[in-house]
Structure 1
Amino acid sequence: MTKKKGGVMDRRRKISIGAAAGVVWAFAVLAGAALFVTLPVFALMPTIMTAFLAPGLVMIAMVATLGNRRFLNEEIIDGGPLSGAAEIDRRVLVNTTEQLVLAMAVWPAAAVLLGPEGPGVILVLGVAFAVARLAFWAGYHMAPPLRAFGFAATFYPTVLVALWALWRVVV
């Protein structure tokens, strides 16, 4: 492994910086939600049911973009193997689906277990998820190491809210 520009070490450094920024984002999102967003307790169920709207809208954009790329490219219109931008869009969509399934498995329980902060936290998580996925998508198209921030900024808020909810159960 070399330290030359564009080498593996340089890419790892860029990915590490992006991932660290994503972790900082995760803490900021959760702290900001807990401190500044308060919803009434009766809003818990509507919030749980709508927290996934912003992520869903981003997924609609991803599916539509990939579909349009297929429609406009004679080589892939009939289901041929993807390459270039279409392959990147497919990878982003697959990872977004994985992240959203994880969020759907964690956020509703966290909303309940966090008590009064729960509704506001998952509402903010939904918006932050959408922003982070857009960053992941854009970063991947610009240069693959730049996707690290968007990945981490989507993944770590879900991990942290799960740990926070478990902490509330234990304490």
Structure 2
Amino acid sequence: MDKTNEESNAKVCEYLTFRLDQEEYGIDILKVQEIRGYEPPTRIANAPPFIKGVVNLRGTIVPIVDMRLKFNCANANYDAFTVVIILNLHQRIVGIVVDSVSDVMGLVPEQMRAAPDIESIINSDAIIGLGSLSDRMLILLDIEKLMSDADMGLVADV
């Protein structure tokens, strides 16, 4: 059997990759509805600082989470590269603000490793593992688990 046939038989998972500060993350491409430029949302009183507010997306009110603030990144500047990834999670639409979107990366199981067991600002259940492709290292997130954390309260855990 030739190499291309073997690769096509392996289960490839596709991840949308994005940057937060100096780190690169990946989320399941099937959870992504669209990618939009950043526009300042309408603030919500008493919301946690990482929830920037809400936007009206074609008649749907969408909460916007600034992942840079959620993950305690050193800087959260809004510039031409800042984007909002609109996610569809359990029939709930949520937007996340990231520094930039890189690309869609297909990873086979051999390119994924378990996440190290270390204390982190991210709930360890929300980290699927680490993906590597040549010189790139991705932190793979289970975005549904992350958004259903108690402090987020945006998506009901199913």
> Is the TM-score greater than 0.5?
no
Q: Which structure has greater helix proportion?
A: 1
TM-score of the superposed pair, with normalisation by structure 1:
0.26
Q: Which structure has greater strand proportion?
A: 2
Larger Rg: 1
